[in-house]
Amino acid sequence: MKLDLSSLDTVNRELGGHGESLLAWALQLDQRAVVTTSFSPFSGVILHMATQLRPTLPVLWMDSGYNTPETYRYADALTKQLRLNLTIVHPRRSRAHREAVDGDIPQLGTAGFEAFTNEVKLEPFERGMAELAPKVWITGVRAEETAERAKMQPVSLNPDGLVKVAPLLGWNARQLHEYLQRHGLPNNFDYFDPTKLDDKRECGLHLAH
């Protein structure tokens, strides 16, 4: 696979607003691909869309250990319904271990919070990606979620050559809800991300990558 910025501009212009078509293009690159998930609200859309095209596509979940009970039930339900080829990565320390030594989640904006984010999300992500070694990274992020994501392109090329694809970047909540209803998929609204604390804050995953 050899992609340059000019070819990505063409793909973004022609396919950027068409989720299924963009996803099909990404998978037709015939390279190792992975789709990441947090099992947050509407996660079923990208997971269903991707596995309809490639049922055995690897799915990577960074389980921080701080998820709500409903999120764990949602993850199990979707995994069974879609027969996900799921890989789960955890922090090197369990939540109980970390809290026994370091206490509760650090205050937002402190060095301790940045270290916490790295421990429970960024390092597990790097480890999981190294294990799966994809050339194509499919993500369900959307432009309306944060200011940083609003600046993203549907397809981008990382400095290391990883092709990052966001088929749902331009979708809104209504479109996502209608997709779930159309395909009989569950949803999850009892979700908590300990690395964000504010719905409009980036956890760092899509800033570093």
Q: Which of 52, 203, 205, 208 is catalytic?
A: 203
Residue 147: both structure tokens together: 């200011």
Domain span including residue 36: 5-208
Look at residue 179 and tell me whether its pLDDT is greater than 90: yes
Q: How far is CA 167 from CA 3, 43, 67, 138, 205, in A?
A: 18, 13, 25, 8, 17
Report the chain's mean pLDDT, rounded to a whole number. Answer: 90
**More confident site: 44 or 161:** 44
Q: Reading across the β-sheet that carries 33-37, which strands appear in turn?
A: 85-89, 58-62, 33-37, 136-138, 163-165, 155-157
Annotated catalytic residue 146:
no
Residue 6 is predicted with a pLDDT of 62
Sign of CA dihedral 152, 2, 31, 13: positive
In contact, 36 and 42? CB cutoff 8 Å = no
- Domains contained in the chain, number: 1
Please tell me the predicted confidence (pLDDT) of residue 144.
85
Tell whether the model's pLDDT for residue 183 goes beyond 60.
yes
Confidence of residue 145 (pLDDT cuts 50, 70, 90): confident
Amino acid, single-letter form, for residue 41: P
> Which token pair is 1?
């696979």
The tokens describing 151, both together, are: 């600046």
| Among candidate residues 12, 81, 17, the one with its CA nearest the CA of residue 47 | 81
Is pLDDT larger for residue 207 or for residue 7? 7
115 or 201, which is more confident: 115
- Enter the pTM of the model: 0.89
pLDDT at 45: 98
Instruction: Give the range among 62-76, 84-98, 105-119 with minimum mean pLDDT.
Output: 105-119
The predicted pLDDT at position 7 comes to 79
Burial 65-99, CB ≥16 within 10 A → b, else e: bbbeeebeebbeebbebbebbbeebbbeeebeebe
Task: Return d(Cα 104, Cα 122) in angstroms, integer.
Answer: 19
pLDDT at 77 over 90: yes
CATH number of the CATH domain containing 13: 3.40.50.620
If pLDDT is split at 50, 70 and 90, which confidence band does 5 have?
A: low
